[in-house]
Amino acid sequence: MTTKNTATGYGLHQSILPNSEGLYGEFGGKIGHPELAKAMAEIEVGFREIIKDDDFIAEMKRLRETYVGRPSPIYHAQRLTEHCGGAQIYFKREDLNHTGAHKINHCLGEALLAKYMGKTKVIAETGAGQHGVALATACALVGIPCEIHMGQVDIEKEHPNVVKMKILGANLISVTRGTATLKDAVDSAFEEYLKNPKDFIYAIGSVVGPHPFPMMVRDFQAIIGDEIKVQTNERFGANPDYVVACVGGGSNALGAFTAFLNEPNVKLVGIEPAGHGLDTDMHSATLTLGKPSQIHGMACYVLEDENGEPLPVHSLASGLDYPGVGPQHSLLKDLGRVEYTSATDQECLDAFMTLSRVEGIVPALESSHAVAWALREAPKMSKDVKIVVNVSGRGDKDSDYVAEKLGLN
């Protein structure tokens, strides 16, 4: 069995694999529901079989190169670097992937796995719509029906992605319960999946949920960091000093970080949404202000009230407003290997506009949180420091919302 992922190969990463109970330290875990436990076990077996299959490995390589457009480039943002002063800012351009974000990396794998396992329908949730668009795209490619659950609040914010999902043939379910955002979409999608786990497959959108989902999604996303390592070493003969990414559930960040977890000289920084401020109740800074608990079939850090119920959360970025976070991130926080900090809605908007007008790159609001950190911290560093920011998605989906917010219409 292949045990190490490279920029051209495929297989399980050894850096933070779960134990036999699906745990990363005290986080993660398997689901207790007997029927669901059986379904999860079947998915894990299918996943472990498919990643050893030569045909799958060849197909993923072909699709990554010719369909997704990998490797995504590393771009030196020279004008932004000059604008900030200080450290050299580089961008990992996941926004240039087919469908406009990193989500296609795991959606291709999940759709091919569904086909391999003979499933009749793929079900998923989406926040900003990037996972939904990527999954609808992958399902159209392999020819499997796709059902996407999305909060009504997010549907109204992310109109371009809603239209794309419908064009691609997805059955879009509007979720109006609760806060009508990402957590509620997850609840709704999981309920639909429970109706027939034998024939349906749940294609989770991040490194969250019960085992084996965090492991699977991390493994499909690890290509990001593998490429960063190869590209930076080819470009300037060394690893970067910093790798920075936004964190909601945590898939793009874990994808960028995994290749560097055993490289102590590379500082890894995850940026959460501080929303209106960490001193308000309008944020989604789970690792910063949450505590270990349970949500959606996993143990992880959670923002919850005194009764143990998940709190309503807020972020300008629909893909980040989630009260939980991936179990690997929860462990990496406790180990101190990754620094988790935050950026406010205002810092995010400022970064969105600055990157757009200084470099001609319109980033997703999610990715703008990581850009905001670079704008804030790069000026404090020397000019020989190299920062790689993962631009996890492009901002087409957010342009109307930002224009309205800033009065640009």
Residue with tokens 């457009």: 69
Active site residue 103: yes
Distance CA(66)–CA(60), nearest Å, equals 10
Catalytic residue status for 392: yes
Nearest to 202 by CA among 43, 53, 310: 43
Burial class (CB in 10 A: 0-12, 13-18, 19+), 77: buried
Q: What is the greatest pairwise CA distance in the chain?
A: 58
* Cα 102 to the center of its chain, rounded Å: 7
CB 185 within 8 A of CB 172: no
Catalytic residue among 125, 227, 272, 377: 125
Q: Is 367 a catalytic site residue?
A: no
Please give the Cα distance from 190 to 214 (Å, whole number).
16
Instruction: Enter the tokens of residue 352.
Output: 């969105």
SS (H, E, C) 269-288: EEEEEEECCCCCCCCCCHHH
CB 273 within 8 A of CB 316: yes
Tell me, rounded to whole angstroms, the distance of Cα 260 from its chain centroid.
Answer: 17
15, 72, 94, 103: the catalytic one is 103
Contact 317, 275 (CB under 8 A): no
Task: State how beta strands 386-391 and 242-246 pair.
Answer: parallel
- CB-based contact 244:370 (threshold 8 Å): yes
| Set 333, 347, 392, 397: catalytic member | 392
Tokens of 385: 């420091």
Which residues are tagged catalytic?
103, 125, 392
